[in-house]
A and B are shown apart, each in its own frame.
Chain A
């Protein structure tokens, strides 16, 4: 049945949230505005920058290119789910060690893309790392340290 609102259930970082949402709401707004999980960023809002990247049912997606209702019944991972309490993931620690962020705005998306890459391919080649981060833009152009951090985390 066609409806402009729908009740959805989405599991984010292990917690299941049930909410009534408008069909027009993008997944990123559901995550940030409705659930107050503001780690995922909105950079361009046009699907180009990748700052809003999350992992949906095991696949990396841009959450501004998806309606929240499309994620009904799915499991989502966001940047908030990477650390174990105060303990950073190996990749997060590597970002810290390699100074892989300048302004930090793109970092949540970069971390999610690199997490998805290393899960699928724990020892990527240099080209595979670059291809894995292709959908993420760093407007500080700090790509080299991000690349080095991912490379070190894969070793």
Chain B
């Protein structure tokens, strides 16, 4: 997988010293992470390690308590009047898909471009159809979410996020709620986007995806980033003992 990641110097996304607490419980401790344009970073770790919370700090669904967030070189402080502007450039895919149950597949994809970007219905429809083709389920355009399989729902969710033409895609355990035979179809879409240069930050347990598509792999535990290694280093075996311990547990 040959990707040109030299970019233009500054990373697309910089998380510096991120802290987050829920009451007395410190979920994120001084987490720092850079993601360059076009890079795919996979975050792994045990549950409760704060991986999803870190992801949600990026699009400020969970605003950080401390530390800085830089997006496209500009500092982004949490401002609830303007946070929606940041989120237009950041796509997010959730473990439980969260398709809008009252809308058909194509309407799900069209909603945000129309209501957020003010796109016309016709243009939004064209984009929706094109994206459905890209995620390989064009025939399900008029189906409703509860009529399609989990793997199909997740692919629609990816298409829905892509319709906003985001600069970075966040995936929060996208395959954890899927039956095993459906994981492949979703991972294939993610890997394809990755190789096309979509900057991606993926929280997952799918080590196969990580090996295939990740430029770097980050290991988190108890709210801290323990490891931040390139794909070759990571799968070459040069890892921190705590990382090794976790990997031994999940690779069986």
Question: Is the pairing of A and B real?
Answer: no
B-side residues, CB < 8 A to A, are none
